[in-house]
Amino acid sequence: MHNEEYSFRVTHIQPLAGHVAQILLRPIHFPSISYEAGQYVHVLHQDQSISPLSIACAPNDKSILEFHLFHPAQNLLAQDLMRLAREENIWRMTGPFGRCTISQLHHDRPIIFLARGTGFAPVKAMIEAFTRLPLYPAISFYWSVSQRSHLYMNELLEKWMIQIPDFSYTPVCMDQDAANPVALLETVLRDHPDISRYQVYASGSQPFVYALFSELHYRGLEMEFFYSDVL
């Protein structure tokens, strides 16, 4: 139920890159929130305003939740979430939300994941969930950032390239404007010239996702095979 409120205790805060922190939480009460990989929650502030955040891990038997929080100084809501994590050690949340989950994707059609910045979070959760299945599609992941120092969890991605069959990872660091991801699109279409054979999941800001959808649909990707909760 989306209206039900859940309380989690912050167990780990780890700087990842730039203004991004990994935050791990465990439930204070059970039953805990039930979700699918690809979904997000609304984290509640003390004034009951909300911050939507994607869950960055697949469901697990310990009910641990992982988030990647981008908290630059000018983002006051994100700064408040960091304060709550550090000082109160408690996050309250409602959810889950989001319809673009692993169960909505086709398990027999190769998938291209496209993310911008901390849009990696739901992609990470979905890749984890896919690779626990006996059969899953070939996975190509392209991660768009404005500079290489904004990439994080590189060791995990390198390990995945070795351990996960049919998984590839390509960072794209040349697009400064998320609303105009030219280098990302060129890279994807160079690697996959017949985009109509694929399904695409995109995670990032609304301008980023709309730019991708417009160009990929023009290049032959059917609308039903483009997934994003932004659309």
pLDDT, one tens digit for every residue, the chain (231 residues): 567 899 999 999 999 998 999 999 999 998 899 999 999 999 999 999 999 999 999 999 999 999 999 999 999 999 999 999 999 999 999 999 999 999 999 988 999 999 999 999 999 999 999 999 998 999 999 999 999 999 999 999 999 999 999 999 999 998 999 999 999 999 999 999 999 999 999 999 999 999 999 999 999 999 999 999 987
Would you list the domain boundaries of the chain? Answer: 5-97, 102-227
- Look up residue 199 and give its two tokens: 């399904």
Query: What is the CATH code of the structural domain delimited by 102-227?
Result: 3.40.50.80
CATH of domain 5-97: 2.40.30.10
Query: 108 vs 23, 52, 189, CA distance in Å?
Result: 33, 31, 21
| Beta carbons within 8 Å of 70's beta carbon, 6+ residues apart | 19, 20, 78, 117, 118
Please give the model's pTM, rounded to 2 decimal places: 0.95
Distance (Å, whole) CA 177 – CA 93: 31
